[in-house]
Amino acid sequence: MRGVVFVAVLAGSVLVAGSALAAPPAPDGCRWEVGAAAKAHHNGPSAKLFCKDDTGVWSEVTDGVDNLDPASLTPAKARDADALEALGFFYLNGPAAQRDEVKAREYYRRAAATGDSHALFNYGVMLEFAHGGPEDKAGAVALYLKAGEAGQVDAMVNLGNDYANGDGVAKDINQAILWWRKAAEKGSGSAAYSLAVCYEQGQGVAKDPVQAAKWYRVGADAGHAWSMTSLASMYEDGRGVAKDEAEAAKLYRQAGDGGDPQGDYNYARMLENGRGVERDYKAAAERYRSAANAGNESAMNNLGVLYAAGNGVDQDWVAAARLYRSAAKRGQPNAMLNLGWCYADGDGVDQDDVQALAWFRQGAELGQTEAMVALGDFAETGRGGMAADPVEARKWWKKAADAGDEDGAARLKAHAV
């Protein structure tokens, strides 16, 4: 469970993390064209404005940025919020050499002064995240409130986030829930996700897995990948919904396709184990690789396991050990155990009991019970530079047994004092 992760969205911008690229309404007689690369990567020339001249011919007007102003875009409408926002959008998203956050902020400020809710929201984000000028979180909240009261959904989301985090306003989970609910009811996937997490964790409301599943479904139906992953987890475990591994697998797949590495990882688990979907090691390896490339340490470890076994990929202990190391360095306890065994047995690395002991110890200290058992075994025989110490061995076996590890319990019984 990732919990509530609050991400502000700047409508019409690609600068704020997690934003969806959505241009503001074009000025009269003009249209925006947004590049596909910008949607995917948030870089490069992302937005171009085309306007129709008196003869009806469309031409790009964003090449000569120094000549652009609201009047040139929409004659006689210098206070037109759409035109002012269009310029703010251009200075944020036009060709890289012409981007200017200070100018963008000024045009968003002028657009907001017209009272337009979309512009109020965008200017609020500029203030909250110090784009083109000093940070002003309280000022941002005031703008979001005006925009939210006028029905602007993204402003409602950010109000919820700011109340939850205490940014620019006193922390108040009840107000956060109020605004998330308003936004979720208007179709915001991110707001539905935050509201669902509150119900799942009992933040500001009584724990209610049925309500959590309901709002995760709203988020998932809105295309919110994290909502898909969380709802899939509920179907996998039977929390708040009837257990349905096929539905879980489908939702994990959709979440992964939607860009959530955790969705990719979980779908790979289902594929590897044939749960809710036909077992397919090759497809599992591909999904694990996708998640691993996005930094998911559990996917790195599990992909290493596939390489060690030769399932879905050619067996390659060197690749397995490399993946275990990457995951272990990111704190993955199972990878620490697996890397320890690579060193203990000389699989994919030079045999080295000292390194094996070090990785077993790290895993054991993070609660990995098999690493505890291995650490006890090393203590019993004095491997890895340890002096043979049956007391130390029993200590680690007992820890493992107390945590439910059957091998730890068996060793304790076999070495009863």
How far is the C-alpha of 102 from the C-alpha of 97, rounded, in Å?
14
Decide the pairing of beta strands 58-60 and 30-34.
unpaired
Per-residue pLDDT, 91:
84
Per-residue pLDDT, 74:
45
Per-residue pLDDT, 216:
97
Kindly state the average pLDDT of the residues 300-309: 98
Residue 194 falls inside a structural domain? no
- The DSSP secondary structure of 156-168, one letter per residue, reads HHHHHHHHHHTSS
Per-residue pLDDT, 89:
82
How far is the C-alpha of 375 from the C-alpha of 235, rounded, in Å?
37
The continuous run of DSSP H or E covering 397 comes out as helix 390-402
Q: What angle do CA 33, 39, 45 make, to 5 degrees?
A: 55
Output the CA–CA distances (angstroms, integers) from residue 149 to 80, 177, 179, 285, in the order listed. 21, 15, 10, 48
- Long-range (24+ apart) CB contacts under 8 A made by 102-109 are 102/132, 102/133, 103/132, 104/131, 104/132, 105/131, 105/132, 105/133, 106/132, 107/70, 108/84
How far is the C-alpha of 23 from the C-alpha of 366, rounded, in Å?
47
pLDDT at residue 391 is higher than 70:
yes
pLDDT at residue 289 is higher than 50:
yes
CB-CB contact of 86 with 69 (8 Å): no
Residue 182 falls inside a structural domain? no
Task: List the one residue out of 105, 163, 102 whose CA is nearest residue 137.
Answer: 163
Residue 89 falls inside a structural domain? yes
Least reliable range by pLDDT among 43-47, 314-318, 394-398: 43-47
Residue 305 falls inside a structural domain? no
pLDDT tens track for 176-233: 999 999 999 999 999 999 999 999 999 999 999 999 999 999 999 999 999 999 999 9
Per-residue pLDDT, 312:
97
Per-residue pLDDT, 10:
40
Handedness of CA 206, 210, 215, 220 (dihedral sign): positive
To the nearest whole percent, how much of the chain has pLDDT over 90? Answer: 75
Residue 48 falls inside a structural domain? yes
Alpha helices in 186-244 (DSSP H): 189-201, 209-221, 225-237
Compute and round to an integer the Cα radius of gyration of the chain.
27
Kindly state the average pLDDT of the residues 314-320: 98
pLDDT at residue 16 is higher than 70:
no
Tell me how many domains the chain contains. Answer: 1
State phi, psi for 72 to the nearest 5 degrees. Answer: -70, -25
Average pLDDT, the chain: 86
Residue 50 falls inside a structural domain? yes
Per-residue pLDDT, 9:
39
pLDDT tens track for 272-286: 999 999 999 999 999
State phi, psi for 77 to the nearest 5 degrees. Answer: -130, 55
Residue 229 falls inside a structural domain? no
Q: Which domain holds residue 86?
A: 1-135
pTM of the model: 0.81
Q: How confident is the model at residue 21 (pLDDT cuts 50, 70, 90)?
A: very low
Least reliable range by pLDDT among 3-12, 133-142, 161-170, 302-311: 3-12
How far is the C-alpha of 387 from the C-alpha of 40, rounded, in Å?
56
Per-residue pLDDT, 49:
62
| Surface-to-core class of residue 352, CB atoms within 10 Å of its CB (0-12 exposed, 13-18 middle, 19+ buried) | middle
pLDDT at residue 349 is higher than 50:
yes
Q: How confident is the model at residue 82 (pLDDT cuts 50, 70, 90)?
A: confident
CATH of the domain at 17: 1.25.40
Residue 127 falls inside a structural domain? yes
Q: How confident is the model at residue 397 (pLDDT cuts 50, 70, 90)?
A: very high
